[in-house]
A and B are shown apart, each in its own frame.
Chain A
Amino acid sequence: MATKDIEKREAQSPSETERTRSGRVYIPSVDIYDSKDAVLLVADMPGVNEENVDITLEKNVLTISGTVDPVAFEGYRLAYSEYGVGDYQRSFTISDEIDGDRIEAAVKNGVLRLTLPKTEKVKVKKIIVRAE
């Protein structure tokens, strides 16, 4: 696995809005793929579970965010560190073809999976060409 692929990217300016929580914000790595009926979005957000992940859709901006509390193991001191722990946030602009009411989300092993169903009207319709 190429190192850069799994490396966490820290957000330079997390979002246009100011944050009320202190701490670092990371941009989750995502895969987006298209199927016949839906667009699937998969995001790596280690440390996140279903309770602390938040998905919002406002107009055509889809925002995924996850809150991760900094870990501290009692009695231990951090001797060596290669990765930081913090919240996640990332926004995507989605087109009108997504049905915002039927978005489904699931989190498993720190991976968020979103299913963004396409609206009925944009599903490819087969046009029958008649011979005259």
Chain B
Amino acid sequence: MFRQDFRRLGRGWDPFREVETLRREMNRLFTQADPRSAQGSPALNIWVQDQNVLVTAELPGIDVQDIDISVIGETLTLKGERKADVLKEGESYHRRERGSGSFARTVKLPFRVEADKVTAKYERGILQITLPRAEEDKPKKIQIKSK
């Protein structure tokens, strides 16, 4: 209301707009400072093709038995655990940077997938999941009849 009044006065400078701009700018700065804050662990890369979607995650040093992948419709859930090294008696840490513990990630895929045909492989610490597009979800070409 005030804002409009100011505008109506025909002044070039609008303090409310300035404040609004500043606020927006601050928000942008804070969200950009840590773009991963909203993201879970592990980090994922998603590759797409017409018929398939490929999800990769860096999960070094994990036992395949400890990875759990499940798919429902177009949602992929990745769960697992990375076990920490067990130190023997007399051993002590100098430095400890590698994370351990359980993780869970749920992502929405660009299309519905055939849950039965999902394949996964684990190589060099990288998990690669191939998810084929569901048959009923594939685009259908529609013939146009002309008389």
Total interface residues on B, CB under 8 Å, equals 45
Tell me if B72 is interfacial: C-beta within 8 Å of chain A.
no
> Which of the candidate stretches A5-13, A17-25, A54-62 sits at the interface with the other chain?
A5-13
Tell me if A108 is interfacial: C-beta within 8 Å of chain B.
yes
- Across the interface, which residues of A come within 8 angstroms of B87, CB to CB? 33
Contact partner, A82, options B39, B52, B126, Cβ 8 Å: B39
Tell me if B124 is interfacial: C-beta within 8 Å of chain A.
yes
Tell me if A129 is interfacial: C-beta within 8 Å of chain B.
no
> Are B91 and A35 in contact (CB-based, < 8 A)?
yes
Tell me if A2 is interfacial: C-beta within 8 Å of chain B.
yes
- Across the interface, which residues of A come within 8 angstroms of B93, CB to CB? 31-34
> Are A109 and B124 in contact (CB-based, < 8 A)?
yes
Whether A33 touches B92, Cβ cut-off 8 Å, given contacts A49-B124, A73-B54, is yes
* 0/1 string, B86-105, CB within 8 A of A gives 1: 01101111111111111100
> Are B94 and A44 in contact (CB-based, < 8 A)?
no
Tell me if B73 is interfacial: C-beta within 8 Å of chain A.
no
Query: Closest A-chain residue to B38, C-beta based?
Result: A3
> Are A1 and B44 in contact (CB-based, < 8 A)?
no
In the complex, A5→B49 CA distance in Å?
A: 31
Query: Closest B-chain residue to A82, C-beta based?
Result: B43
B:91-142 near A, CB below 8 Å? 91-103, 110, 122, 124-126
Could you tell me the distance in whole angstroms from the C-beta of B77 to the nearest C-beta in chain A? 16
In the complex, A108→B124 CA distance in Å?
A: 7
Contact partner, A77, options B48, B91, B122, Cβ 8 Å: B48
Query: Closest A-chain residue to B51, C-beta based?
Result: A75
In the complex, A49→B87 CA distance in Å?
A: 25
- Across the interface, which residues of A come within 8 angstroms of B95, CB to CB? 30-32
B:46-60 near A, CB below 8 Å? 46-49, 52-54, 56, 58-60
Apart from A6-B58, A76-B54, list 14 A-B contacts with CB within 8 A: A1-B82, A1-B103, A6-B41, A8-B43, A8-B58, A33-B92, A34-B93, A42-B85, A42-B98, A44-B61, A73-B49, A79-B53, A108-B61, A110-B58
